[in-house]
Structure 1
Amino acid sequence: MLTISRLVADPALGLRVVTSELTEPLGEEIHWLHTTELADPSPYVRSGELVLTNGLWLSHVSPDRFVAAVARAGAAGLVFGLTAQTPTLPEGLAALCLSHRLPLIELCVGVPFAALTRAAARIQNEVLQAELTATVHRGDALATALSRGSGAAGVLEILRGETELPLLVVDRKGRRLASIGCEPTDEQVRLAAAALNRTPPPIEVDLLGRGPAVLYLVEGAMGEVDAGLYCLEPAETLAAADREALAQAARFLSLEVTKQQAVHAIEARFAAELLEMILSGPRSSGEVIRRLRAYGVPPDRPLGVLVSAPVAASDPDTLPGDITHAVGAFFATHGIPVFTAAGSRDVVSICLWERSAEELARFARDLAAEVGRRVPTGRVVIGIGDIATAGVLRESLVRAREVCQILRAQPAPDIAAFADIATFRMLLGLLDNQVRQRFSEQVLGAIRDHDARAHTDLEHTLRTFLAHDGQWAVTATALHVHVNTLRNRMARITELTGRNVNRLEDTIDLYLALVAEPSGPATGTSAH
């Protein structure tokens, strides 16, 4: 960059530093040169400019007023050009500049200010060429790293070759994609992710005692902020070259994020298809076997089925898809081949398991604890399916999902298998979705039609009544209606459905119809 030191170092200019005590300002960047002979140049001198003068103002104003005006404007320094008329510096000028901490440089007789301007332009050109060359070389290195699959870690390695700055890449879901020169804690990663979800994201973030960290946004394919490149140093400590390198790296990280989004979308589609094939039963067993083999899960050996789900997420934005990464990482840590897919309410894992069912239960317990620790879900429950072969996975998956849903509604336990929990939901889970849907519509269709036509809420009334175990007063309070109003609504339900809640058999029909509706196909899936 252009500094007083670089100008002084050019012997052709004949510059001499008079205020040698002021060493630090000599290395600071100069924005440009400003020639003036005005008595008060402060309205025209910009901060950071180097002022050039021959002292023609001496006949109009004293040196102390001129120096004060130059200092007030924030000038980088003062170059006094000696002439035949002024062969020496004005008396007291050096002391005045020193008192204002304004570097004073003497320009010898015979060297025009134009020589300084040409030298400054040459230096600026050299700086720009060096920056452009560095940017091009860095861009080539970043592109090569990404093309070789080095990912975010490869990008940080390139930056590490230029700077010793501690760097961290975190996505919006709180996953650490890469780091170098630092070992952030889980809480620091969480704070970094939380900052990305603010609108707008901050420029700097305090990461628990590390001080302010500079944030460079990493955008995905849709222009939304999907990740952040954090430099764990305050912004004021970064050189211009560091800031340019970090900004360029953030742009290349956007390419990596976009690529990963595309890969995940493809994986999600195939994962969703595989789940549908498993749920369709034996007629798709051949394709299920081929797909599992493609995911690295040997289909001709025993397979375990686990279904995980969050219970009460402390973060309202936490979805089952957010815990898929933690589940996949846990299996990878144990070296177990697994197919993992995130549905709308749970995460399905089908893994190679050649050990006992008891060991699978212990593994599931450790998995629930680890996922609960890594993801802010509050509590994670896991339904365990039977150990089965690829051709007959449907029943095991259905049972595990039903167990998982039951565990979500109970305070304990966190894991269970089909044999541990036996309820009517297990029987419903073994039925095809179409059968369950037809039964629900047959019993409740008339109520739903009436609600749609008359803008009533009889189905909600029935759900509330049964959820409160048929207690009239408690239900009326929950619905904020009089008990007589509730009785009138229940009478209308009896009229429409032909089933009376005062008869046990009819109450069972109504309750089963409410809970029998299928949950629908998995959405937003991904695979590992």
Structure 2
Amino acid sequence: MFTLSSLAENASLGLRVLVPGPPGAMDEPLDWVHNTELPDPSRYVRERELVLTNGLWTAEVTPAQFVANVRGARAGGIVFGLRAEMPRTPDELVKACEQAGLPLLEISMEVPFTAISHAVSGLYTEQRQQALVGMVRRGDALATAISRGAGASGVLRVLTRDHDLPLAVVDRMGRLLAAAGAELDDEQSLIVAAGLARRPPALELRLRDGLAALYPVGAVGDVDAALICLRPLSALTPIEREALEQAAKFLSLEVAKQQAVQAIELRFASELLEMVLSGAQRAAEVAERLRTFGVDPTGPLAVCAVAFADEKGPTAHGLAEVVGEFFAREGVPSVVAGGTQDVVGVLTWRQPEHDLARLAESLVQSVDKRFPGSRSVAGLGGIAPHSAELRQPLVHAREACRVLRRSRGGPPVRSFVELGTHRLLLGLVDPATLRGFSGDLLAPLREHDARRGSDLERTLRTFLDHDGQWAATAAALHVHVNTLRNRLTKITDLTGRDVARTEGRVDLFLALTIDAMG
């Protein structure tokens, strides 16, 4: 691009500025020049073009009409070429340009319009050469930054040396990896992550302060992060866009490198779980692997298993990243491994066991915040005195997590001992079989309640919640004991299970528990 100022400063053109236009008009970027003598050139003149004319249209339209037509085409200005028949620029044209706020320059008879075309071509050539030189220089600087381990922050530092742009790098998990002149909060980072998840990824997003340009950063066949510029695409110059695209390619190298390291760590961590489950025969390997991750194998260790209850969350790898970040942020030495159904964390733990439950609750909240719309659960397996005793806590944590995943509601964090033996046993049975048992047993009650408007199912739940105590149940339901007795008799008739006998209560209790588990 070029400007009127750059042309006016070219002494060989001999241009004289008659109307500079509004403030800044002389420095507005222009795309090209257009030579015309048409009375109405608006159909052919493009936006931000400079109109060159000798005024041969004066016999057909007034200067005011011609200027209006040029202005309507959103041209960048007019250069009026003097000729023998018109040795000076018409005053009417000067006045019309002043009123329209359209820059007007004058060129002498001795200088042809082609001189302006050649000058503009020269400017474009020079700019392109500068852009190519800048791209090569910037490429060298970006490669140096990556090779020296400067990471995403180093890439942004290289960019901001040449371009004053507010920049940030956000990955597909909504984590802010680096920033330079831009501030993104958690909510905005999650908006970027959602934009990356689209197919194809968004190229522009609306954040709190307006539109932002998004340059996807791909690694191994997928979009894993984005270079964000907190300006709309329309506000970026071609040179700025090229620089951002180039930086995004170098960021791909950095993301690929990080992914390779994470994949190795995840594989090593997953092997640790296999070692623990192998028992005492691999105890020495377990201890050595824990030391590799900075976890003391000689001290007390806790195991926490995390999963998504709705099975709609990200991959185990994505969840493992978030869990690992959480423990690192809390200052808890840990090894985090992703399994097929859950993510397991083995932690150094020298605090009371009830504090572990509070940490797990914070973990679940952090995961749910990172993945809106998902519900996560965490199972705790207890404390092992040292690494050789990790097998039982690991098994217990995963079993507790498995039971919680199948529960439709209730607390998201439970330890193995809190769940109760019946829940753990139910976790071992085929889900379809359990749902069939529960549905068949409770169906008569629900049909009766729907048909008669009765309240038998709630009565049964309240009766069992109050350990079969008649007076307490009647009080909770706000009914007379005789009314309660009649309802329980009806429940016995409909289900074939006598609520007065332990065997009948167990069946009904299990049916309600399975129903709550979903």
TM-score by structure 2 length?
Answer: 0.77
Shift of the alpha carbon at 1:86?
2.4
Work out whether 1:252 is the aligned partner of 2:223: no
Shift of the alpha carbon at 1:93?
1.2
Contact 1:383 1:402 in 2 (8 A): no
Q: What aligned pairs does 1:76-95 form with structure 2 within 5 A after superposition?
A: 76-95=76-95
**Structure 1 unaligned blocks of 5 or more:** 430-435, 445-458, 478-500, 516-528
Judging changes above 3 Å, is the alpha-carbon distance between structure 1 residues 159 and 121 closer, same or farther for their aligned structure 2 residues?
Answer: same
Shift of the alpha carbon at 1:61?
5.0
Counterpart CA distance in 2 for 1:378 and 1:472 is: 28
Match of 1:303 in 2: 301
Judging changes above 3 Å, is the alpha-carbon distance between structure 1 residues 64 and 359 closer, same or farther for their aligned structure 2 residues?
Answer: closer
Structure 1 residue matching 2:226: 3-state secondary structure = strand
Judging changes above 3 Å, is the alpha-carbon distance between structure 1 residues 475 and 21 closer, same or farther for their aligned structure 2 residues?
Answer: closer
Q: What aligned pairs does 1:340-379 form with structure 2 within 5 A after superposition?
A: 340-376=336-372, 377-379=374-376
User: Identity of aligned pairs, percent?
Assistant: 44
1:385-435 Cα offsets, whole Å, 9 max, x none, are 322422332222001111223344274444443444441666899xxxxxx
Counterpart CA distance in 2 for 1:120 and 1:390 is: 75
Judging changes above 3 Å, is the alpha-carbon distance between structure 1 residues 411 and 59 closer, same or farther for their aligned structure 2 residues?
Answer: closer
Code of the aligned partner of 2:276 = I
Contact 1:155 1:253 in 2 (8 A): yes
Correspondent of 1:330 among 326, 332, 338: 326
Structure 2 residue matching 1:18: 3-state secondary structure = strand
1:463-514 Cα offsets, whole Å, 9 max, x none, are 333234745646999xxxxxxxxxxxxxxxxxxxxxxx99x8xx99xx9xxx
Judging changes above 3 Å, is the alpha-carbon distance between structure 1 residues 45 and 307 closer, same or farther for their aligned structure 2 residues?
Answer: same
Counterpart CA distance in 2 for 1:464 and 1:419 is: 24
Counterpart CA distance in 1 for 2:184 and 2:58 is: 60
Q: Which moved more, 1:197-206 or 1:118-127?
A: 197-206
Structure 1 residue matching 2:383: 3-state secondary structure = coil
Match of 1:219 in 2: 218
1:255-283 Cα offsets, whole Å, 9 max, x none, are 22333333333333333222222222223
Shift of the alpha carbon at 1:79?
0.9
Code of the aligned partner of 1:211 = G
Judging changes above 3 Å, is the alpha-carbon distance between structure 1 residues 353 and 310 closer, same or farther for their aligned structure 2 residues?
Answer: same
Judging changes above 3 Å, is the alpha-carbon distance between structure 1 residues 413 and 65 closer, same or farther for their aligned structure 2 residues?
Answer: closer
Q: What aligned pairs does 1:289-300 form with structure 2 within 5 A after superposition?
A: 289-300=287-298
Judging changes above 3 Å, is the alpha-carbon distance between structure 1 residues 388 and 468 closer, same or farther for their aligned structure 2 residues?
Answer: farther
Code of the aligned partner of 1:220 = A
Judging changes above 3 Å, is the alpha-carbon distance between structure 1 residues 60 and 404 closer, same or farther for their aligned structure 2 residues?
Answer: closer
Counterpart CA distance in 2 for 1:21 and 1:360 is: 71
Code of the aligned partner of 2:115 = A
Contact 1:368 1:382 in 2 (8 A): no
Judging changes above 3 Å, is the alpha-carbon distance between structure 1 residues 81 and 354 closer, same or farther for their aligned structure 2 residues?
Answer: same
Correspondent of 1:391 among 380, 388, 393: 388
Contact 1:368 1:381 in 2 (8 A): yes
Q: What aligned pairs does 1:266-305 form with structure 2 within 5 A after superposition?
A: 266-305=264-303
Counterpart CA distance in 2 for 1:345 and 1:474 is: 35
Shift of the alpha carbon at 1:148?
2.3
Q: What aligned pairs does 1:16-27 form with structure 2 within 5 A after superposition?
A: 16-27=16-27
Q: What aligned pairs does 1:449-528 form with structure 2 within 5 A after superposition?
A: 460=432, 462-468=433-439, 470-471=441-442, 473=444
Judging changes above 3 Å, is the alpha-carbon distance between structure 1 residues 163 and 467 closer, same or farther for their aligned structure 2 residues?
Answer: farther
Code of the aligned partner of 1:206 = R
Counterpart CA distance in 1 for 2:288 and 2:53 is: 83
TM-score by structure 1 length?
Answer: 0.75
Structure 1 residue matching 2:182: 3-state secondary structure = coil
Code of the aligned partner of 1:336 = V
Match of 1:239 in 2: 237
Counterpart CA distance in 1 for 2:37 and 2:442 is: 95
Match of 1:204 in 2: 204
Structure 2 residue matching 1:256: 3-state secondary structure = helix
1:260-315 Cα offsets, whole Å, 9 max, x none, are 333333333333222222222223333323322322223343322222233458xx
Counterpart CA distance in 1 for 2:75 and 2:28 is: 11
Contact 2:353 2:382 in 1 (8 A): no
Q: What aligned pairs does 1:27-106 form with structure 2 within 5 A after superposition?
A: 27-59=27-59, 62-106=62-106
Contact 1:323 1:375 in 2 (8 A): no
Shift of the alpha carbon at 1:374?
4.5
Structure 2 residue matching 1:92: 3-state secondary structure = helix
Structure 2 residue matching 1:205: 3-state secondary structure = strand
Judging changes above 3 Å, is the alpha-carbon distance between structure 1 residues 394 and 178 closer, same or farther for their aligned structure 2 residues?
Answer: same
Contact 2:360 2:378 in 1 (8 A): no
Structure 2 residue matching 1:161: 3-state secondary structure = helix
Match of 1:381 in 2: 378
Structure 1 residue matching 2:205: 3-state secondary structure = strand
Contact 1:319 1:345 in 2 (8 A): no
Contact 2:20 2:26 in 1 (8 A): no
Match of 1:496 in 2: none
Code of the aligned partner of 1:331 = F
Structure 2 residue matching 1:50: 3-state secondary structure = strand
Match of 1:519 in 2: none
Counterpart CA distance in 2 for 1:427 and 1:294 is: 37
Structure 1 residue matching 2:19: 3-state secondary structure = coil
Shift of the alpha carbon at 1:65?
4.3
Counterpart CA distance in 2 for 1:45 and 1:371 is: 56
Counterpart CA distance in 2 for 1:428 and 1:474 is: 23
Counterpart CA distance in 2 for 1:20 and 1:7 is: 13
Code of the aligned partner of 2:99 = S
Shift of the alpha carbon at 1:8?
0.2
Higher relative contact order (CA 8 A, sep 6+): 1
Alignment RMSD, CA only?
3.5
Shift of the alpha carbon at 1:366?
4.1
**Structure 2 unaligned blocks of 5 or more:** 449-495, 498-502
Q: Report the number of matched residues.
A: 455
Counterpart CA distance in 1 for 2:403 and 2:288 is: 32
Q: Which moved more, 1:145-154 or 1:318-327?
A: 318-327
Code of the aligned partner of 1:16 = R
Code of the aligned partner of 1:176 = L
Counterpart CA distance in 2 for 1:187 and 1:396 is: 36
Code of the aligned partner of 2:235 = T
Counterpart CA distance in 2 for 1:375 and 1:296 is: 28
Judging changes above 3 Å, is the alpha-carbon distance between structure 1 residues 44 and 468 closer, same or farther for their aligned structure 2 residues?
Answer: closer
Counterpart CA distance in 2 for 1:465 and 1:128 is: 73
